[in-house]
């Protein structure tokens, strides 16, 4: 099975990123706007010479044009344990531990499970807490917020916070999305920064 590269969408993205219109590219390549449009939509394949010329104009290297997509699958059975502050909780890392742009962690908290009594902060600019199931009480720098299944809270991770499962009988499942990614989220104590008392 041969690999199919999405040349058209990549050329379109590069053209838009460079701030060029189809007319601009047509004028610099002596190719028609209609032909360039069909190339970007994947309807026609340009010759090698035309492809090189288009890439030069839109500022896209041939290496990037043909680069395979970068991805990593985290199988449920192979998740690494993450260590967030708290009691009666189990944290697993959904993203790769080497991911530098975002960290996603799933927390399952038993009845009365919590993020600990002390407020803590995370070394990240944006933190999102998504309640996949159950209900929690979230303490954000002194303000108490009630969050239920399907709710999401977005805040700066450096803001002191903690949370607790309000149920005495049901588990709660949370997703934490943090950007940029946390350093070493699978090592105990590497991500929690307790608030100074």
Q: Could you tell me where the beta strands, DSSP code E, fall in 45-197?
A: 80-82, 87-93, 103-114, 120-121, 126-133, 135-140, 143-148, 152-155, 161-165, 172-179, 193-194
pTM exceeding 0.75:
no
List Cα–Cα distances, 9 to 13, 40, 41, in angstroms. Answer: 6, 6, 7
Query: In the prediction, which pLDDT does 9 show?
Result: 92
- Contacts of range 91-98, beta carbons closer than 8 Å, 24 or more positions apart: 93/185, 93/186, 94/175, 95/181, 96/72, 97/184, 97/185, 97/186
User: Cα-flanking dihedrals φ and ψ of residue 145, to 5°?
Assistant: -120, 135
Q: Are strands 103-114 and 87-93 parallel, antiparallel or unpaired?
A: antiparallel
Ordered per-residue pLDDT tens for the chain, 197 residues: 335 668 899 999 999 999 999 999 999 999 999 999 999 998 998 999 999 999 999 999 999 898 887 777 777 777 777 667 778 888 888 888 788 899 999 999 999 999 999 999 998 999 999 999 999 999 999 899 999 999 999 999 999 999 999 999 999 999 999 999 887 655 444 444 333 33
Region for residue 91 given its phi and psi (left: phi exceeds 0; alpha: psi -120 to 50; beta: otherwise): beta
* Four-point Cα dihedral 22, 28, 29, 34, nearest 10: 20
């Amino acid at each position: 099975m041969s690999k199919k590269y999405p040349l058209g969408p990549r050329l379109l993205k590069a053209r838009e990123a460079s701030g060029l219109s189809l007319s601009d590219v047509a004028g610099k390549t002596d190719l028609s706007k209609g032909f360039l449009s069909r190339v970007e939509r994947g309807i026609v394949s340009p010759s090698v010479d035309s492809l090189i010329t288009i890439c030069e104009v839109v500022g896209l290297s041939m290496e990037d044009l043909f680069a395979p997509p970068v991805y990593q699958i985290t199988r449920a059975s192979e998740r690494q344990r993450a260590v967030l502050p708290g009691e009666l909780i189990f944290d697993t890392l959904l993203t790769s531990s080497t991911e530098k742009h975002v960290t996603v962690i799933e927390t399952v908290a038993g009845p009365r499970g919590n993020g600990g009594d002390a407020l803590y902060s995370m070394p990240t600019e944006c933190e999102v807490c998504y309640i996949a199931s159950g209900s929690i009480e979230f303490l954000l720098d002194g303000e108490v917020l009630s969050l239920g299944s399907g709710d999401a809270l977005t805040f700066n991770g450096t803001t002191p916070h903690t949370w607790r499962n309000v149920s005495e009988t049901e588990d709660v499942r949370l997703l934490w999305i943090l950007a940029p990614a946390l350093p070493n989220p699978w090592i105990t104590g590497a991500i929690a920064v307790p608030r100074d008392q």
